[in-house]
Structure 1
Amino acid sequence: MQKLLQVVCVVLVAAVVMFGGRWYMYVARGESPYDEVGIALNGYAPAPMRAWGCHTMQARFPGQLPPYGCSGADGRRWI
């Protein structure tokens, strides 16, 4: 039972590192704010992380339309 718990914990930590790292690369170093995988990961992120990500991308891509999940009600303004 302890071995199973250890394996489950390792798998969970690996998933968090893999998906969290991919999300961070999209937000902080992505070439475009319209990467489909990045948009999906940003949509699943908790609200504070999503808000930070959207503000970071807004600073990196001024003048561009926001991607899905970072747009306001009209779809043209960043949140």
Structure 2
Amino acid sequence: MGKLLRLALIVLVAVGAVFGGFWYRYVSNTVTPYDEIGIELNSRMPEPIRKWGCDKLQATFVGAIPPYGCSTGNGTTWM
């Protein structure tokens, strides 16, 4: 049972590192804020992490329309 638990923990950490890496690459990119995978990952992050990512994107893409997950109710202003 201990080996199975250890394997599950290793897999969980690896999956978290992969998705976290993709998310960080999205919020720190300089190409476009409209990457579909990045938008989906960012929109599912907890509020404080998503806010930090949106702030980073807004600083990089000044004047751009915010992607899904980074906009307020009207869809044109950043959170």
TM-score by length of 2: 0.97
Which letter does structure 2 place at the counterpart of 1:14? A
2:28 is paired with a residue whose SS is helix
| Moved >2 Å (runs of 4+) | none
Partner of 1:37: 37
Structure 2: which 5+ runs fail to align?
Answer: none
Measure, in 2, the Cα distance between the counterparts of 1:74 and 1:46: 21
Which letter does structure 2 place at the counterpart of 1:12? L
Tell me the CA shift for residue 43 of structure 1.
Answer: 1.1
Asked if 1 retains the 8 angstrom alpha-carbon contact of 2:58 and 2:78, the reply is yes
Measure, in 1, the Cα distance between the counterparts of 2:78 and 2:15: 29
Structure 1: which 5+ runs fail to align?
Answer: none
Structure 1 position 60 matched with structure 2 position 60? yes
Which letter does structure 2 place at the counterpart of 1:2? G
1:29 is paired with a residue whose SS is coil
Measure, in 1, the Cα distance between the counterparts of 2:2 and 2:29: 39
Partner of 1:78: 78
Q: 1:30 to 1:44 in 2, by over 3 A?
A: farther
Tell me the CA shift for residue 30 of structure 1.
Answer: 4.7
Alignment RMSD (CA, Å): 0.8
Matches within 5 A, 1:9-48: 9-48=9-48
